[in-house]
Structure formats: C-alpha cells, structure tokens
C-alpha cells in the first residue's frame, strides 16, 4: 500500500486564489480611499479654521463693545470714537470726509470689516492730505474728522483701537492692513458702498 500524500484538490486551490485575489482588489480600493479621506480632512481643517491676526501693531487696544444691534439716533457723544456696539441700520460709504459724519453709520461700516481713521481737524493740511491717502486705494477705509477726540489720529476697527500722535507713524498703515481683512468684524466681507454719505476721493 502506497503512503504517498494525496494531491491537493484543484478546486480548493482555485477557491484560495480567488480569496487572495479578492483581498488584493479590496486593498487597492481601500488604500486610495483612505488617502482621499485624509487629504479631504486636512483641507477641511485648513478651510474651517478661523484666520488669525498676525500683524497687530504695538499699542493696539482690544475694547469691549456692545452687541451689533440696529438703533435709531446717535450712539455716542460727538467727540468720542467707539469701537463697536449698537449702530444705525444703514452704513456710511467708505472714503475721505472733511466734515464730521454720524458715528452710528460708521459703526455699521465697521461691522462689515471697515477701518475708521478719525483725525483732529486741527491737523495741518499736509497731515490731513496724508490721511486722505489711506482712503483712496482702499475701499474698506473711512477717514473723517472728529473734533475734540482724545488723540490727533485714532485708527479703529471692530473691537480694536490704536491712538497715534503722528500721521507718519508706520503703525497706522500696519493697523489698516491688518484690520481691513475684517477678522474681528461681526459681518466681514460686507459692503462699504451703497450706504449714506458722499466721500471725497
């Protein structure tokens, strides 16, 4: 009687080969899919993460402000420069003004991500002309006089403020560049056109 081992069944070998082949196909599908999910997750994190303030100039103060609700009438004394809070239902058109305009309308513009550069009207004509230059190229800047304000120049964004003594202070340009991105504004990206006022560009 022969003790030779019986040959394996060809049918079983085919079945095993099919399982191995099926596993390989599954791996080929899963690996790219996992890669797509991973890349998609990274992109989502980047897109959904709020942008950060990176260029806030020294001396900038973060101020507590009220809720951005619409109200009727003045919201602050004429010699004050608030950094947010209740405001008018219509915004002030951005640009340069040589006479005082309603703070309540300016605050609405700031709610949309605009920067308000207010100045003492007793500044020299050359200094005022320098400030005017901040409004010309930037559609998100208001430049207006505020008689009796606490500093010669005050740059204000929603919840942020910087008081300056000199129009040539480089921090003014830094403030404008940083906060016209609207990172602190309740409604960033809102328009600064189609409101009230006729600026002098």
- pLDDT tens for the chain, 201 residues long, are 555 555 555 555 555 555 556 566 666 667 667 666 665 545 444 334 445 677 899 999 999 999 999 999 889 998 999 999 999 999 999 999 999 999 999 999 999 999 999 999 999 999 999 999 999 767 899 999 999 999 999 999 999 999 999 999 999 999 999 999 999 999 998 999 999 999 987
**Cα separation, 157 vs 172, whole angstroms:** 12
Reported pTM? 0.75
The DSSP line for the chain is ---PPPPPPHHHHHHHHHHHHHHHHHHHHHHHHHHHHHHHHHHHHHHHSPP----PPTT-EE-------B-SS--S-TT----SSSB-SSPBPPEE-SS---HHHHHHHHHTT-EEEEE-TTS-HHHHHHHHHHHSS-TTEEEEE-TT-SSSEEEEETTEEEEES-TT-HHHHHHHHHHTT-TT-SSTT--SSSSB-----
Q: In the chain, where are the structural domains located?
A: 9-49, 61-179
Q: Which fold has domain 61-179?
A: Glutaredoxin (3.40.30)
pLDDT tens digits for range 128-180: 999 999 997 678 999 999 999 999 999 999 999 999 999 999 999 999 999 99
């Amino acid at each position: 009687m022969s003790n030779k081992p019986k040959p394996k069944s060809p049918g079983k070998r085919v079945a095993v080969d099919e399982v191995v082949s099926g596993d390989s196909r599954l791996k080929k599908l899963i690996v790219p899919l996992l890669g797509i999910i991973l890349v998609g997750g990274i992109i989502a994190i980047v897109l959904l993460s709020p942008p950060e303030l990176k260029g806030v100039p020294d001396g900038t103060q973060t101020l507590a402000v009220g809720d951005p609700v619409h109200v009727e009438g003045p919201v602050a004394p004429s010699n004050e420069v608030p950094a947010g809070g209740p405001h008018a239902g219509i915004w002030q058109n951005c640009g340069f003004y040589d006479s005082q305009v309603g703070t309540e309308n300016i605050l609405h513009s700031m709610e949309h991500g605009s920067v308000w550069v207010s100045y003492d009207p007793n500044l020299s004509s050359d200094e005022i002309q320098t400030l005017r230059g901040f409004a010309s190229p930037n559609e998100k800047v208001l430049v207006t006089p505020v008689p009796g304000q606490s500093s010669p120049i005050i740059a204000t964004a929603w919840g942020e403020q910087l008081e300056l003594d000199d129009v040539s202070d480089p921090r003014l340009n830094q403030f404008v560049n940083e906060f016209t991105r609207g990172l602190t504004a309740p409604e960033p990206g809102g328009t600064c056109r189609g409101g009230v006022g006729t600026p002098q560009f």
